[in-house]
Structure 1
């Protein structure tokens, strides 16, 4: 809703553009358009901050004047194409900069590799200056305005972003919202006793309140960071530290913290960052008697920060790193008053979990139940889907979904942990248990996509058939991610079927964190084999390239359309449909190492008696059954519709 601006605000805006009527009009129009969303969010959280509008306006105007001309042109393009993150040609690639190419200058030299793969979104894992190790893989940020010295400089980051823009590739960076390193300037000044900066954190003179909070707080890293509070010797106070003792939780109830991050986001946006991964966003608001996650204020704050970027840098998008239950996840894309006004993108963690669950069980009924539990998302938002990421796999299997298919949530979670740590008889997987919590029985799993899919064990045994099945499992998983509708996020090395890297134990700062087993350095010698399909790397890479190309040529994968479950007559075969104006697409996925016959009547009922398989580009005239080979996949659309052909 357009906001009527006060005379003082209008005057301040006019004074900021004394000689440029076009810039004045552009800023004023955007401010009028999004100020309502901005201050609806701000006032919900900071009702008593009387001078906040004036202070925010100063931040916005400064960032506007600093924004480079080429980024302002990108802003105009994105305003004309608000669905830029939803189109089928948007493929993401995720890597650690130093693991991909040592430095930002090295990454710059490898941009053509990203282009060749077909990515249009490049997420470089934490590269803002962290504290010295240990630093939680870079998520303990010491300075948001500097790059890690070993990677380069902020100038190098801007150069890389500009080069990526020339290839229509959007740079995504992590923005850690919940905490900063204890060495951050704010924390240093708080430790020295500066009252202003002590209010940036949750600091307590004794354990009275921390003990009350602890009654309902979970532990994120029970093995090496038990509890949620740490005593700081220098200040003589207890500090809230959800993740690690060296990561100090910020107090977002302080409007000064909001202003700091509004300014930081615009600073980084003006260096060319187009997507911000909002790290640990679920944790930023604290409330006694709760688990201090997913509180309503989180969504009001996100809406306000998003409005800040819509005014100054509308080319920017937000991705919520909220690994939460499905009933909570939709709030990060916007529900109720926040519908479609918070993050543009959120991780579909459940999809990843269910892919691995069904690969282990060879049964898709739990997958169906989990997807049915998701309500529709706002049509202007999208999912980020992935087979693997930099983190461990937590078995987010709800007891309710498990009960619907006749198993127990606890029993199935135990089965999955056993299966993917090779403890279950006959398992094809090679993974490591991460953060075993004896109190809850929780055992998360680390491992590369290829090792979890069975390639490592197959190669050890010299079994070519098992090698083939392992690659087919990994290809099936990527086909689901590419065919779900959203932004598929391909994790570095999976395109080459890279295995676990056990050398992490030789690096002191990594040795206690086995997630580094699936964070290897890029194997560029292996990458040289990517065009040779007689090699494992070539088979995986070329197969994935064909899937990406098929997706790019299939308009049915626009993210405004939902993937919906079709009750499958075969418990090994997942069926999803996408009802698009160009016709219905049905995706079929065989989770068994055996060929499966799927009765064709659900396909006939959707006009697919004569179908085009978008993956193979072949016509399929369907009789009574569709036969899928082991781990087979098909994306079927009506053949007679000429507009769906290549």
Structure 2
């Protein structure tokens, strides 16, 4: 046990590295608290090499601790006193590309009034660390983790922005790409030059024998423009593991030096003011022959060890797992068994996002119910990242088992959704694009903005007022679900203005091959400035409705993310019912996923809430001692018990 070791001369040696006894006490107490998690996970991954790694790691931790600014150390103490800071109902996220939102990091700093006025307390700026020149997978081919993309600013600009955000109570999140680096990264450059230390940072094979054996069980991520998982590199003199693109070299996390490098990088960025790290492609970092090399046990040990190391120096920092995997695998990224609550603090609830769009298309929530019921409970100290749309495509992550329980064919329903959201299904309201069609599996992922997928683009084309009304109500319904489910709602830039697909992406050479740029438009600041004056426009109604939802959420303690939303069986397949059993009282949420008015049997609500309930969204009081409750098309209710609930 490391806690026992700390009672020996090691503690004295560590204490001697500090000038101040209080600083020494703080470091040693955190080391005692998180040291066993760190050591146990490192031993699980690296075996006999773990002790030597720990010695080197302590030097990195001490250096980072001494370099940590005073205001961030104060934030550390504040977060330790409020460990549920990410779970509070006032936590609202906003996701944007720096250049498309405000041009530069300094430009973002000039737009903080807008974010604060919207209610944002958590800002995720999409990849901004220096990528390779030219095509770079949207910034996920990082050439230098210690530099900012030159056109966006400098690392000092990043520190200044982080400090400005903290002053307004807004936490900064950045992407940390763990699985790979750009071929132009210094490590890869040295590997190609023949340096044995850095060749060991990667998976490089002299011929196709090894890659061919691995390929037998590996899926393809980008079958259209990056088939296969290995690329021949003339300079390296071998086949390099490149899961995503030939210019993104997968790292060899079986090498302890890679772990040490990333602890140093995370702490460097944390000391610059980054509070949340999105662990990009975390599922892929451990390779194992005979598997798909995703979700391996070592992934969770490595994440636990990274988190423990960072908590020793910077406990204000949180991890968010970018693991778009099946529910049975996803829960491990928040922690199960010995890792329970000790890996990532957040994870994307990709399944909920998929089910939102599935229910909109089908006007049926039975599959939604089955998918949610299949989720195991998460650790109470963790939370979900909830979203309607993100920067990525929508992959129809619907399991055949969930579909069968809902009376559907998994392949058939996925085919229907691809047709519906690419505009090919008769009567569809959606305007989306097929992304990465895989003829071997039939999979077709979908690109498109939330507003275009929800029908607003088509409605405005035809000038149909009824369809426009439906599209606006769909968008507000989707956001009501992510704001009410319990987690950190992540608003994607422009959705608050109902921005449509941006087909001009085809005019930009580096964007043209990737139609995901259709839903990555530039911020329309002219619209943002006038939208509240144009209350009756579609954008004005979406904006006003979303702001209302955000205000209600912040004043509703029932939405604290330590409480899970549970499915309440609905007597009507068009309506999703969720129940949240909070100490202040039960909340029931009702969501009508159709344009039709539903007469919902009142007993299903009365059995949980009693004879009277108040809707937090409209402040209406419902009498539940009658036969039915009327739900207009696409209406959302957040019901709490009593006529005048707390």
State TM-score, norm by structure 1: 0.99
Question: Residues of 2 paired with 1:9 and 1:493: CA distance?
Answer: 53
**1:546 Cα deviation from its structure 2 partner:** 0.5
Matched, 1:639 2:615: no
State the shift of 1:603 in Å: 0.9
Taking a change above 3 Å as real, the CA distance of residues 442 and 603 of structure 1, as seen in their structure-2 partners, is: same
- Name the residue aligned to 1:576: 578
What secondary structure sits across from 1:351 in the alignment? helix
| Corresponding residue for residue 226 of structure 1 | 227
> Which segment is superposed worse, 463-472 or 419-428?
463-472
| CA shift in 2, pair 1:608/1:479, >3 Å | farther
> Per-residue deviation at 1:321?
0.1
Residue 147 of structure 2: SS of its match in structure 1?
strand
Provide structure 2 residue ranges, at least 5 long, that are not aligned to the other structure: none
Q: Say which SS state the counterpart of residue 576 (structure 2) adopts.
A: strand
Unaligned runs of 5+ in 1: none
Q: Spell out, residue by residue over 1:442-474, the C-alpha distance to the aligned partner (whole angstroms, 9 max, x if none).
A: 000000000000000000001111111001001
Equivalence for 1:28: 28
Deviates more, 1:264-273 or 1:601-610: 601-610
Distance 2:115 2:13 in 1: 44
Is the 8 Å Cα contact of residues 417 and 445 (structure 1) preserved in structure 2? yes
The equivalences for 1:544-555 within 5 A come to 544-555=546-557
Task: Give the equivalent residue in structure 2 for 1:256.
Answer: 257
Q: How do residues 58-73 of structure 1 correspond to structure 2 at under 5 angstroms? A: 58-73=59-74
Shift of 1:407: 1.1
Say whether 1:626 aligns with 2:629. Answer: yes
Alpha-carbon displacement from aligned partner over 1:200-234 (angstroms, at most 9, x marks no partner): 00000011010000000000000000000000111
How much has 1:639 moved relative to structure 2? 2.4
Q: Provide the rounded CA distance (Å) in 1 between the counterparts of 2:548 and 2:161.
A: 28
Query: Residues of 2 paired with 1:23 and 1:245: CA distance?
Result: 46
CA distance in 1, matches of 2:196, 2:644: 68
Q: Which residue is 1:600 aligned to?
A: 602
Task: Give the Cα–Cα distance (whole angstroms) in 1 for the partners of residues 333 and 383 of structure 2.
Answer: 11
Offset of 1:534 from its aligned partner?
2.0
Does the CA-based 8 Å contact 2:621-2:643 persist in structure 1?
no
Question: Where do residues 412-423 of structure 1 align in structure 2 (5 Å cutoff)?
Answer: 412-423=413-424
Report the secondary structure of 1:47's partner residue.
helix
Query: Quick check: 1:2–1:34 contact (8 Å CA) kept in 2?
Result: no
How far did 1:12 drift?
Answer: 2.7
Shift in Å at residue 640 of structure 1? Answer: 4.4
How far, CA to CA, are the matches of 1:495 and 1:346 in structure 2?
23
Q: Does the CA contact (< 8 Å) of 1:369 and 1:404 recur in 2?
A: yes
Cα deviation for residue 531 of structure 1 reads 1.1
- Contact 1:529/1:537 (<8 A) preserved: no
Deviation at 1:376, TM superposition (A): 0.3
User: How far apart in 2 are the matches of 1:176 and 1:276?
Assistant: 9
Residue 536, structure 1, aligned to residue 538, structure 2: yes
Partner-residue secondary structure (3-state), 1:605: helix
What does residue range 488-499 of structure 1 map to in structure 2 within 5 Å? 488-499=489-500
Report if aligned partners of 1:527, 1:537 keep a CA contact under 8 Å in 2: no
Q: Deviation of residue 8 (structure 1)?
A: 4.5
1:430 aligned onto 2:436: no
Distance across 2 between alignment mates of 1:2 and 1:233: 46
Q: What is the TM-score of this pair, normalised by structure 2?
A: 0.99
CA drift of 1:526 comes to: 1.1
- State how 1:185-584 maps to structure 2 within 5 Å: 185-532=186-533, 533-584=535-586
Distance 1:138 1:637 in 2: 44
* Cα root mean square deviation, aligned: 0.9
Following TM superposition, by how much is the alpha carbon of 1:308 offset from its aligned partner in structure 2, in angstroms?
1.1
Aligned counterparts of 1:632 and 1:577: Cα–Cα separation in 2: 17
**Helix, strand or coil for the counterpart of 2:486?**
coil
- Measured in 1, the distance between the counterparts of 2:296 and 2:130 equals 29
Q: Structure 1 segments of 4 or more deviating over 6 A?
A: none
Q: 1:2 to 1:58 in 2, by over 3 A?
A: closer
Offset at residue 2 of structure 1 (A)? 7.5
How much has 1:642 moved relative to structure 2? 4.1
Deviation at 1:617, TM superposition (A): 1.7
Cα offset, 1:418, TM superposition: 0.1
Aligned equivalents of 1:432, 1:367: Cα separation in 2: 24
